[in-house]
Amino acid sequence: MSDRPETGDSDVASIDGDNRTLLKLVQAAILISLVWKARYFLVVSAIHSQFPLEHPFFPWVLQRLETVRIAWLLACVSAGLILFSQTSKNIFRLTALNLLMLIVLSIHQKSFNDVTFMCCAWSALWCLWMSTRLHEPFESLFPRAAWLTHLILSMIFIGGAVGKMTPGYWDGTVLYEIYFIDRDFWTYNLIRSLFAEESLPNVAMWHARMVICAEWVCGFLWLMPQKVASIVAVVMLCGIALTNNFLLFSVVTCLIGLALVGLHEKRQPTKSPLTTPA
């Protein structure tokens, strides 16, 4: 008689449920980010099909439109399947496939400049690391897993802060021209209703400096207490999308998934009524 079923059952039973929950939480956030990107991605894909652009810097396979379409589809499918996978082998294989497809999307000619895929790739890298440690005790793994999420988030925030350290961003010119003049969004509509037009450049300057300073602070999440770091990251990431553009949830949702790891509480085993003391 084959012992494969017993082996599979043993593998599933030895996986710490809280470890699997954390991995699937982040994987679900990656899937939401990718699906949130779908409409924009399909529009851009249609534009590239009508106006093909080739660049010798990219290998042939990373110029093909079919490659980027298949990579996005497989990234979505693998992320979805992970949510229903039970064995560590299947979870590892699917997280590896998910990361590979996201790497392709991050370096493909038609998607390499899209920060959604880059953030999802870093989140998927954490999931791959986690998938190799599902059998470890939650108590010893959780502090390392949470610290690693905060380290990844810190790196991304520092990258954003460094990219904004330019004269045009520091003096508010970039934000003023992109958002404050005529951007139809509740935040900027409210600002234009509260301030005179001639004062908007000054408002944009202080807003830009506040954003840069906040990102620098978030660059040190890995040094903060675990729960404090997670709360700061969630508030910051939600604020980015809620105050600038709802489409940015395609970027920040996967990162919110990482941030929520640090807020996880270990599930307490339910006691049977028969064993509960009177």
Per-residue pLDDT of the chain (278 residues; tens, 9 = 90+): 344 444 567 778 788 889 999 999 999 999 999 999 998 888 888 887 788 777 777 888 888 888 999 999 999 999 999 999 999 999 999 999 999 999 999 998 888 888 999 999 999 999 999 999 999 999 999 999 999 999 999 999 999 999 999 999 999 999 999 999 988 999 999 999 999 999 999 999 999 999 999 999 999 999 999 999 999 999 999 999 999 999 999 999 999 999 999 999 877 665 544 444 44
Domain segments of the chain: what residues? Answer: 12-136, 140-265
- For domain 12-136, give the CATH number: 1.20.120
pLDDT, one tens digit per residue, over 200-253 is: 999 999 999 999 999 999 999 999 999 999 999 999 999 999 999 999 999 999
Q: What CA–CA distance (Å, rounded) separates 222 from 238?
A: 19
Q: What is the pLDDT of residue 57?
A: 79
C-alpha distances (whole Å) from 181 to each of 4, 89, 105, 170 are 65, 53, 33, 17
pLDDT score at 12: 80
Residues 6 or more apart whose Cβ sits within 8 Å of residue 214: 236
| Amino acid type, 198 | E
